[in-house]
Amino acid sequence: MDNFALKILVVEDNDDLRAATLAFLQAQGHSVRGVPSAEEISDVASGFSPDIYVIDLNLPEEDGLSLTKRLRKLHPSVGIVITTARAQIGEKVLGYESGADLYLTKPIDPQELIAGISSLSHRLKINHASSAAGLELNLESLVLRGPLKTIDLTSAEAILLFELARAAGQTLERWQLLEIFGKQDAEISNSGIEMRVSRLRKKLESTGVAAPHIKSLHKVGYALCCQVVIVR
């Protein structure tokens, strides 16, 4: 089995189960974080953009189905694995209709979980290898490597480029960007988003990538018009 180093966020309110799941996934070489509720996801959002979420359905306050729907709407291409004791077919259908990629019934054999995550990473075409073509964004060092030049990005610029690169059709609407930055920057606004996009465009141009780099979609949002490979 190929071993991809994924960023995985486990949302599970059972402390022992969450700890065991994190330990197992980390032992497989993945970068992992865990929270007991949907409300605490924002606490780990800065600097950690998950490739895959592992979500328990029976969460306090916002439940797993609601969280799955919200994440799927915000991040159309992210991987979502539901873990639950609810085994009836109608509940499974509801889970998939809410946006889950995998629906695993507890108790879950760890090997089944890791096999599902590996399969999901292939289906989503999550690319963790470097490439000579296009741009290469290193999320750990915040370095952007282009055809002619390598430059440093701010954390906000790196997040913006990363989210555009992994979005469906490499396109994000304004409300999605406001949601992404809103939890980390209370001062963000539509004009703030435009300013960040403008600065990122200049940096993309300085790396030697031909325009257009990021297109403005009138009254909608922005589309990334170049290939970006994400490395860690």
**35-76 pLDDT, tens per residue?**
999 999 887 766 678 889 999 999 998 999 999 999 988 877
Which carries the bigger pLDDT value, residue 186 or residue 108? 108
Architecture in CATH of 7-123 = 3-Layer(aba) Sandwich (3.40)
Residue 133 has pLDDT above 50, yes or no: no
CA neighbours closer than 13 Å in the CB half-sphere of residue 39 = 5
Ramachandran quadrant class, 170 (left: phi over 0; alpha: psi -120 to 50; beta: rest): left
Which carries the bigger pLDDT value, residue 149 or residue 102? 102
Least confident of 53-67, 70-84, 125-139, 151-165: 125-139
| Cα distance between residue 232 and residue 95, in whole Å | 31
Element (H, E) at 173: strand 171-173
| Nearest alpha-carbon partner for 33 in 22, 24, 45, 42 | 22
| Cα distance between residue 144 and residue 134, in whole Å | 11
Quick one: DSSP state of residue 168?
Answer: G
Residue 127 has pLDDT above 80, yes or no: no
Which residue type, as a one-letter code, is found at position 178? L
May I ask the CATH class of domain 135-231?
A: mainly alpha
In degrees and rounded to multiples of 5, residue 91 shows phi and psi of: -70, -35
Give residue limits of the domains in the chain: 7-123, 135-231
